[in-house]
Structure 1
Amino acid sequence: MKWSDFKTRLEKHPELELQFQYAENNRVNAAYHITEIKQAPITSVDCGGVVNHWTEVIIQLWEPEGQQQERAMKVQKAISIIAVVEKALPLADDAIVKIEFGNAGFDTRQMLPNQIIVQNGELLVDLRPDTVQCKAQDRGGSCGPAADDCCAPAKPKLQMINLAQADACCTPGGGCC
């Protein structure tokens, strides 16, 4: 999901409570805080030697230990936090949104908003783990044991030499050695 889409979905429902589900039937404690919003420009080189660029906006959630509360923050409060962030750091509309979360029973990780659902007075952001994949496959290539074009080191190009003329080329300055 792109940042502009995520933000628009929030802005449509300022009166609802904002809740996050990080696993089936597991929600972030309603006492959570949005501790920071990061913008991460990524540059990578994939296994095929192709340079890739994209940007991520990462919203970090924190569950304070021992604090309990019945209701999560209102969407409007999250929107006001976003406004403070965007005054200092303009966020890229086309950035990929990730939510960073972890607690004592769930290792910290970055997850993708799978769905945003309006239900029972809440705006529920259903999170799913990000996956790893080979970008060569996205370009129509292949990856794996038979993928000479992708994951194997480049093969050196061989120069063909006519052995009948080997004496002529294998002399100092001949260029064959």
Structure 2
Amino acid sequence: MNAIDKTLSTDISLGLLLEALSASRDLPLVFRYDGRSIKPGYHVTEVKAGQFSALDCGANPEAWAEIFVQLWDVEEGDRTHMAAGKFAAIIRKVSDHVKLDGSAKLTFEVSDGIRPMQLYCASTPVVSDDVVRVDLIPRAASCKPRDRWLAEQVQAAACCGSAAAGKCCG
């Protein structure tokens, strides 16, 4: 599996993230990116939802919903990492004012206030050592027609190698 395929397979939605966090509400939520953990004083500075329409490089129309969670990676005094429940409460408060589609593509925007903001997708949260960890993987550019073709190849290979081969490999 190449890096692009791995990135695509780890991308989760906001709904899946919140569902995974619900069992560990009191544990610290630690995002990891660029090989390190986010600082304990990090802030969720903005949550925004968007509806996008585009034309891809194969002249195919595209439409999707996306939610952006902006993290400010700063250290503030003696603060500790925010609890998973507090993060979920921030998202709930936003959803009281902005319609958030739980199945929408989720993108994290992260900056320390000095370096330019970078875009990341999130992996499924993992609980270990009494901490909820979410790895943020750089969101790479991709070619949607190629991505669709690769997905079809994977599906065909899985289908043709199974007992259902006669039904889908004709």
**Cα offset, 1:90, TM superposition:** 2.1
The match for 2:137 is 128
Question: What stretches of structure 1 of length at least 5 have no aligned partner?
Answer: 142-177
- Code of the residue aligned with 1:63 in structure 2: it is D
- Code of the residue aligned with 1:35 in structure 2: it is T
1:89-104 superposed matches below 5 A? 89-103=98-112
Structure 1 residues 21-77: Cα deviation after superposition (integer angstroms, max 9, x where no partner): 1122x111110111111112121101221110111111111134x624362011111
Identity of aligned residues (%): 25
Structure 1 residues 121-173: Cα deviation after superposition (integer angstroms, max 9, x where no partner): 111111110111111213439xxxxxxxxxxxxxxxxxxxxxxxxxxxxxxxx
Tell me: higher relative CO, structure 1 or 2? Use CA pairs within 8 A at least 6 residues apart: 2
Report the Cα distance in structure 2 between the residues aligned to 1:139 and 1:95, rounded to whole angstroms.
18
State the structure with more CA Rg: 1
Cα RMSD of the aligned pairs, angstroms, is 1.9
Q: Does 1:22 align with 2:24?
A: no
Report the TM-score when normalising by structure 1. 0.71
Question: What stretches of structure 2 of length at least 5 have no aligned partner?
Answer: 1-11, 151-170
Report the Cα distance in structure 2 between the residues aligned to 1:83 and 1:29, rounded to whole angstroms.
23
**Cα offset, 1:105, TM superposition:** 6.9
The total of aligned residue pairs comes to 139
Name the structure where helix makes up a greater proportion of residues. 2
Report the Cα distance in structure 1 between the residues aligned to 2:139 and 2:57, rounded to whole angstroms.
19
Report the Cα distance in structure 2 between the residues aligned to 1:139 and 1:100, rounded to whole angstroms.
26
Query: Are the counterparts in 2 of residues 110 and 130 from structure 1 also a CA contact under 8 Å?
Result: yes
Query: Are the counterparts in 1 of residues 73 and 113 from structure 2 also a CA contact under 8 Å?
Result: no
- Code of the residue aligned with 1:61 in structure 2: it is L
Report the TM-score when normalising by structure 2. 0.74
